Amino acid sequence: IFLTVDSVRFGFREADARNGWSALPEPHRLVNYDEEIANKPQSSESKKSSWLSPEASVDKTKIYAGDEDAWDQNTEQLFEQNPTWEDVRWLKREACHDLPLIIKGIMTAEDAVEAVKAGADGVMVSNHGGRGLDGALAAIDALPEVVAAVGDKVPVLMDSGVRRGTDVLKALALGASAVGIGKPVFFALAVGGENAVVNLLQILQREVEAAMAICGV
Task: Cite the active site residues.
Answer: 128
How far is the C-alpha of 112 from the C-alpha of 104, rounded, in Å? 10
**Cα four-point dihedral sign 96, 184, 138, 136:** negative
* Beta pairing, strands 102-106 & 122-125: parallel
- Beta carbons of 143 and 175 less than 8 angstroms apart: yes
* Residue among 20, 4, 213, 3 nearest 128 (CA): 4
DSSP 3-state assignment of 4?
A: strand
How far is the C-alpha of 18 from the C-alpha of 178, rounded, in Å? 37
Q: What is the DSSP string of 127-148?
A: -GGGTS-TTSPPHHHHHHHHHH
